[in-house]
Structure 1
Amino acid sequence: MSARTPETDVEKLTADEAAREHARLGEEIAGHDRRYYQDDAPTVSDAEYDALRRRYEAIEAAYPELRGIDSLSDKVGAAPAAKFAKVRHRVPMLSLGNAFADDDVEEFVARIRRFLGLPTDADVTFTAEPKIDGLSCSLRYENGVFVQAATRGDGFEGEDVTANVRTISEIPSRLTGEDVPAVFEVRGEVYMGHADFAAINERQSAAGRPLFANPRNAAAGSLRQLDPAITASRPLRFFAYAWGEVGEGGLPADTQFGVIKAFARWGLPTNPLTVLCHSAAELLAHYRRIGDGRAGLGYDIDGVVYKVDSLALQGRLGFVSRSPRWAIAHKFPAQRAITQLERIEIQVGRTGALTPVAKLTPITVGGVVVSNASLHNEDYIKGIGGSGEPIRGTFEDQPVDIREGDWVTIQRAGDVIPQVVDVVLERRPPEARPYSFPTVCPACGSHAVREDGEVVRRCTGGLICPAQAVERIRHFVSRDAFDIEGLGEKQVQAFHDWGLVKQPADIFTLEARDSDPSSLTRLKNRDGWGEISAKNLFAAIEERRHVPVNRFLYALGIRHVGETNAKRLMRHFLTLEALRETARAAVMPGEVHPKGNEAWAELTGIEGIGAVVAEAVVDFFQEPNNEAVLDALVREVTPEPMEAVAAATAVAGKTVVFTGALEKMTRDEAKAMAERLGAKVAGSVSKKTDYVVAGADAGSKLAKARELGVAVLSEDEWLILAGAG
């Protein structure tokens, strides 16, 4: 009999020959899958790979007995990776500010005009596009070829989902067009359509698996599968609407709308409902058209996004905190439902705040099952108000209290925590009694007190309160802080209960303390853990021994110091030690209030940092217990300088104060430009000020600058120095 070759017709193969070739092809295809989906380094062309796949499937068709449970005909991609790698976004993926009412939209347009110093009749064009309810994703193309995909993550660092995104048929592997930049990051939304969602839930039900709550959850869960084959089996879609890093060649247009048009030319899916508008009235009209046709779109949206169309104006407007000034998301009205409030539970937060939570009879609101809702605070329950408008009964115009057993209206808007917004008084049970808010902490029994002027009642237990200790550590390891993979809420609680982690520094000494080979209480021997999971956790902890100093500061959980204020403080002080020294010096011996001292003036002079934040920072660093905890932590962790906010410029790192009336730009625009160039903008003049930019009618700040010998620049001199003159 003549020798068989790979080209031999399948029907001419014997059963033994078919089995051997089937096994060989299976190994070869699996190897190619690993190199393509996991290593991102394919060794054959798509045509060669497809030929191998076709022959493999043809053999199975001719010899069905070879198609077992491990058949590659039922799989796409490689075996699952151990975990997702991290991807640092070269250009941050920031979030959008929200608008909920027509007035918010009108104010957004007016605010842009004010910021740019434009007259009310000057034309400003906007794009308006549906806000897709999915999962944000960034796609990196090099020389037109798709090379990497990442989730949004915390906006600065996401997860590498390249292998999974390759399975989404709507996303092109290559962009086509002569004007595609050498490097281009496409930003957009991965989502699942209504029909596809219904079909996947039918399959889940038939297989006896849990159903997905809504299309967004299904899309997010599908994209973050460790096995690309699972992602490939789920019908994901994509809309492109923004961009990140842009390399040589630059953008293909000078407007938002023009770039989106280029996306479509290049082969990317874009939303056909994106339009141009020239006023707040036009934006609102489009919003209503989209809202009226929302049910027939075939996919979920939760609002409309408005963006200034001119990229030049976008550059002038810049960003505030984590959001662009030139864009806003106009959300659709909240969705509501009525259910019964079974009981009120008190949760103790990381700052000791006692927060009431309504435990509800589960009900579906906007496609999501809701069993908990926010009650805000003590006054809100009493019907006094305390957070937004007071509760008002459905048939009463007077504030009413909230009681256990009440039938209540629940409101949910987007990803906002559901809230109790109404009490259905005619259904109130006769046995329902006014709720008595606790005056002791349910976690440690310490007194819970309200300070003058505050609506929040707080535990006085401090460091002895287990609820605060756990919450502080949960905050410390959270995504926007140290972001330690594998150390979530359940793990933190368990480590605290086991006595392994009582303060942040304990996290970084955990592996050393776990090294006794004879101990039966080693992490790998504990319930829910094993050798591999323990090893992965220790590796994740080791990766976080170096973190940006602003994230380090945010992780400490100082009251009023969120992500934005942490950045403001560290842009000014640069190092943690410099901040600590200033905070220590801000209160001199015998002083009750630190105001008037030079260190205090420096803290409060930072743009955006007022007396409330400054006092919280001073209180934290003056507290001996906090100092001890911090000293232990910095022995284990190195806070690194913040990533540069701009390329090296003549004003990067310099402290600038603007005073007087500027002629060529508004004061807000000048501050935004300075921050964009890496300068630190302060609100008052001190010895540490590098430049005072003085416009017309400059007053006391100019006099102070001359007194201290600080360099004074005119507006034109500042623009030349900044490279914009």
Structure 2
Amino acid sequence: LRQLDPAVTAKRPLAFFAYAVGRIDDGDLPDTHSATLRKLREWGFPVSPEVGTAKGFDGLIAYFRKVGAKRDSLPYDIDGVVYKLDDYEGQEEMGFVSRAPRWAIAHKYPAQEQMTTVEAIEIQIGRTGAATPVARLTPVSVGGVTVTNATLHNADQVARLDVRVGDTVIVRRAGDVIPEVARVVDEHRPAGTVPWQMPSACPVCGSEIIREEGAAAYRCSGGLVCAAQRKEALIHFASRRAMDIDGLGDRFVDALVEFDMVKTPADLYGLTVERFIDMKRRADERDGTTPETVKQGKVATKWAENLVDAIEASKHSTLPRFLFGLGIMHIGESTAKTLATWLGSLAMVRRTPAPVLRVLPDIGDEVATSIAAFFGQEGNEAVVDALLAAGIRFADESAPSAKLRDKLGLDVLLDSAKVSKLGPKSTALLGKQYASLEALIVAGEHQWIIAGVPQAAASNLSAYLADPGHAADLARSDWAMRALLDALPARSAAALPLEGHTYVITGTMETLKRDDATERLEALGAKVAGSVSKKTTGVFAGEAAGSKLDKANELGIPVHTEADLIALLGEHGVAP
């Protein structure tokens, strides 16, 4: 309906029924809702011919059944009826709960259902990478709509229903809108059907499909290369808190993807002013919005020049922004900063395996697995290489944190293996007893028992290491851990000047943007929190500071001005 040309909108078969009055001037309405609807009809407004009145429960149910009998023959879809108190004075007395009236209630009809056959179960990849199983059906009419596809929601739902290719199923339109498989007709199941399994690879890009621990959803891990996720990946990469490409909004991203001018974020760095102008020309022609000045041969180019400049400027970024911009599942700004602070460089982040990543603060098994899986995909690796080849550089890369020396060891690798009955005490004992994975393997089960490991745990560990796949995974993790330890500074680096301090920034700053102030404080070792607590070192308050300032005063936390913040940064050589 949203057309620039109203003549196009006029061709749409739109109609409405008047059902209430929002405002009336110079007149009075009747005392009841039903009388108001009759008055609206007299004035020429279309009012539903199915409107009626009823008394008591029996009257309501009789009306419900009467309309239900007509449901399939109505020239529009309905999913129920609404009962309203007819008397306006009574409506006013009953009032509302939140925004819902106490004087009205909906009575829904059961979803319309039909029987059909499952011809295939396929996977759809959403814009965020979610993998949703969809049943391809023999066409069937449900409530006047021909249904050929029905959602199965997720793998757990498929397992609960035990839907298989070849099954006869009952299909309904959920809320009379979205078709879904309600149940399987077991007595019609043909011989030879097999339970459905989630594919291991994305049907769009071929990347691995992974499942979040404890979640129903499976997701494609090819975030940077998957065509189904392309728009979302580009918008996120260019966002203010990521690579901050000013001017590259949703409409331009939509056009770049639609015209196949950009497939991955790396392609942005090859765009020229001429390419952007061509993109906008094609988008305007598609939407029928070509400006008169362009039709007259006057083409503005300043916007395209600014956009190319913004893309060029984004090449000089920070490692946390870049990691956040890659759109790795579970990696927000805080986790990106943790990776950069502890591992120091992109190269180290890329090659550190999940068992080692999990020792970093606030990074558990699920997040570590997500990071390792992302960089384990060849497509994602190729895009990262292309971004670096385009000239992206980080001024904040450094050696890994010397604090890792106290966090890494053989016990970390053994803990990550999750060998049955091999608990933290046993892994710590083995970590102290043997200097390397190789020494552990050479010693063997008997020596582990002598060292104090319970026999059952030692036996399970021996069986685990006898598996070639498990042994190879552990060996790769051991190699990566040793490489990381070798890259640590020879001596513990001196503590950063604001390490151990926690600050909160609130209100509007005149000189510094909040993000800029946060980055400068964090570079000095401080933590910048989003809320005030007893552990807060101080609060920097700008104009229009609100509840955080009140909380600081209540707790007796020192409150500082923007000038104080700039002075603090100046003391350590990072003032704006």
TM-score, structure 1 normalization: 0.35
**Which one scores higher on RCO, CA 8 angstroms, separation ≥ 6?**
1
Bigger proportion of residues as strand: 1
Bigger proportion of residues as helix: 2
Which structure is larger by alpha-carbon Rg, 1 or 2?
Answer: 2
